[in-house]
Structure 1
Amino acid sequence: MIAASPIPNAPRPGRPWQSAGLALGAVTALGLARFAYGLLVPAMRTDLGWSLAQVGAVTTANDIGPRRRTR
């Protein structure tokens, strides 16, 4: 039988690597999503009837958003 830890939710060996792996997965998914967005912009422009200025504004807002949260 395994004895209960004296500290609830105490970190166990291997947790930092697990956390790093999960963080890397999230970063990779976000990077791929941002890449895919760039590929979808021409189709969005055609389907929604946006002008180049409107597409540029949406793309700029998409690019500035994550940068503002990191500073």
Structure 2
Amino acid sequence: MRVVYKPGNSYEEIDCFDFREYEHGVVLHDEQGHNVGYVPHEILSHIEPHPGEEVDFEDGQPPEPAHDEE
């Protein structure tokens, strides 16, 4: 998978095999389970699956994002 983040004015990417989400960000792992990076939630843009890693949704569309009611 590809983790896309924006630490400044431009986007950067890190390829990884897996990730684990924590309170303040995500830790990225390679195929052997070693840490290959860390991205704080504040600069995380999105995570893209590589071809073959994509998950099909039951109705063909991803769920609507939840909105906090205030």
- Would you say same fold, with TM above 0.5? no
Larger RCO (alpha carbons 8 Å, 6+ apart) = 2
**TM-score tier after normalising by the smaller chain length:** under 0.3
**TM-score between the two structures when normalised by the length of structure 1:** 0.17
**TM-score between the two structures when normalised by the length of structure 2:** 0.18
Structure whose residues are more often strand by fraction: 2
Structure whose residues are more often helix by fraction: 1
